[in-house]
Amino acid sequence: MAITEIIIKYITNLIASGGYFFVFLAMFLEGIVFPIPSEVILAFTGFLVAQTTFSFSIAIIISALGSFLCALAYYLIGYFGFKPFILKYGKYVFLKQKDIEKTESFFTKHGSKAIFISRFIPIIRQLGALPAGGAKMNFNKFSLVTILGALIWNGIFIFLGYLLGENWPKLEQYTKYLDYIFLTAIIIAVIIFIYKRKRKRAIKSID
């Protein structure tokens, strides 16, 4: 049994025996430390809703609160440490002061849309709050769109778990492939970004 499967089994057992608190805790921790997809937690929660162990509305609210506090942790890290970190170490990944300014400008203009959309993209869902905090995005707007996105995303997978019932584990078989696709796309995008920056610097040095 893979380590992820062991963690999933352990967490689902905690949720089944411990109630809403462990739904909240699992959604908070999955984005910060644990290598477990939120879809699995939510689908199992939906299964428990079908078993009348949980209330559908309360499960959505509690899970969304866990998701929000996870995002808030990243937001605060970005708010207090993103800019100093980039200024000190950004040169190693071809980031400069002007890149920080561009990020701040982007989140001033499009921050709400970007954060809302990021709630539906694996990995970016958690990490998107980091540059938002670094750009000092308005906290009220950040909170509103994060909570709204979490309510929708969590609600979808809780509902799917409710529909699937005892077959809820099948959902993980499909969603993990989406995670792989998104992760691959992110890696490729980062490689392209670094390549273009490196090439641009090389051209400037020749000129």
Question: Per residue in 178-198, pLDDT tens?
Answer: 556 656 766 676 676 566 666
Nearest to 87 by CA among 97, 78, 74: 97
Q: Residues 96-128: pLDDT tens digits?
A: 556 555 655 666 666 678 788 877 776 667 777
What's the CA gap between 117 and 151, in Å, rounded? 13
- Tell which wins on pLDDT, 178 or 93: 178
The share of the chain scoring above pLDDT 90, in percent, equals: 18
Amino acid 206: pLDDT:
59
Q: How confident is residue 140, by pLDDT bands cut at 50, 70 and 90? A: very high
pLDDT-derived band at 92, boundaries 50, 70, 90: very low
Per the structure, how many domains does the chain have? Answer: 1
Residue 183 or 57, more confident:
57
pLDDT at residue 199, rounded to an integer: 66
| pTM of the shown model | 0.73
Gyration radius (Cα) of the chain, Å = 19
Nearest Cα to 135, choosing from 106, 104, 102, 105? 104
Task: Show the domain range for 7.
Answer: 3-206
When comparing pLDDT for 196 and 146, which is higher?
A: 146
Q: What is the mean pLDDT of the chain?
A: 76
**CB-count burial class (<10 Å; 0-12, 13-18, 19+) for 40:** buried
